[in-house]
Amino acid sequence: MTTIKNCRLAAGNVTDIQIEQGVIVKIGRPLSGGDEIDTRHGTVLPGVIDAHVHFREPGGEHKEDWATGSAAAASGGVTTVLDMPNTNPPTVDEPSLAIKRERAQQSLVNYGFFLGATTKNSEAIKTVRDVAGVKIYVGSSTGNLLVSEDDDIEKLFAIPSIQWVIHAEDESRIRENSRQIGRSEDPAAHSQIRDPQTAVEAVRRVIALARKTNARIHICHVSTKEELSFIDAARHEGVAITCEVSPHHLFLNEAAYRMQFTFVKVNPPIRTAEDNAALIQGLAAGTIDIVATDHAPHTREEKNQHPIDAPSGMPEVETSLPLLLNLVNHGGLTLERLQQITAERPAELFRLRGKGRIAVGYDADITVVDMQKKQRVSKNMIRSKCGWSPYEGQMLTGWPVMTMVNGNVVYSNGTLNDRFKGKEVMYGKV
């Protein structure tokens, strides 16, 4: 038994929480017994669920693996991650999923997986169980998963009872822009090759197909205010659509290319300050459902290549919560809304049993944050194997100070505890 004392919750009330066998069994005051942890100087939140990570195993272990990625996650207050399928080999059927399940057992945090869609694996999609959803890359990105033609997407959407997760960039437009721009030496050309219309057109196409087939779709890493308009309109028309935003589309824009060059190259690209503001507003207002990092680390050597050859992606799982807490401290978001977008809604959208809330009967996945703690992002603190962050040098107010996974403390005030391992998530209601 563990009792967490003096828990200040997001709404401001203070209570105690009692845990047995990894599950919350009592909430109220006063409670005592077993190992006692006093959190009087922190705020207690449900553990962050990051529904979009690339932990690179198998095939990309020089960039990240489950040990280093989960260590970074735990340090960032993340208690559950959902891993994307564009590994090597890609996760497209039961055998490739089994490989990933075996590798993930070294994870410090809980984990789940997405299956990847191809033009040839519809039977596997129909039969594979216990995944959060199926990812469709409408535009090319890291790896070789691509389903870009409307006929192929429509055939997939016709498969019933699937949560489709969409990388929405228009492949034909990417190729045409690439042909016109060529091998530019300017890193900012990436935002022209994959221009805003590339994302908007793909979202428009996917919504039309979802409307036609009654498919349930989730749009990953929305990057423009125009996409939000299409998504909001579709939702009001009855389309089963949700969406996410990544931290880099909230807090970085095209001005970052001047100092960080290819280190801020990502798919979809960073956009304008106007888009930043619109996305933050959409997040606060509820147009955007969740924050998911798209944590996609690459080595410094890989990023230091020619702008066209450098891979897209950046590490984010460790800094996402501090960035959002900093936003709360600056009035851009309430703590209650942060709790919804980082825990409650991800659990609801992907049917994660027992996750996302501090409530009796839910798993004891808990993050304690110090809302007053000021700390500068430094490369020395980065636990991701890549060893760098696009936010290096930024002073942020509000940091996680303790992360509890299934009732076990795996991170506390800068120290990791790797004696405990996470578990694969289960799907359905609590």
Residue owning tokens 């980065």:
382
**HSE-up (13 A, CA, CB side) for residue 371:** 19
Residues contacting residue 286 through CB under 8 Å, at least 6 positions apart = none
Helix (H, G, I), strand (E, B) or coil at 396: strand
264 phi and psi, to 5 degrees? -110, 15
Relative to beta strand 290-291, strand 216-219 is: unpaired
Choose, from 16, 294, 363, 365, the residue flagged as catalytic: 294
Contact predicate 249/222, CB 8 Å = yes
232 is catalytic: no
Neighbouring C-beta atoms of residue 11, cutoff 10 Å: 9
Residue owning tokens 């801020």:
264
157 phi and psi, to 5 degrees? -60, -25
Neighbouring C-beta atoms of residue 246, cutoff 10 Å: 26
Residues contacting residue 123 through CB under 8 Å, at least 6 positions apart = none
Detail the DSSP E strand segments found in 173-232: 216-219
Pairwise CA distance, residues 79 & 88, whole Å: 25
Contact predicate 372/397, CB 8 Å = yes
Residues known to be catalytic? 294
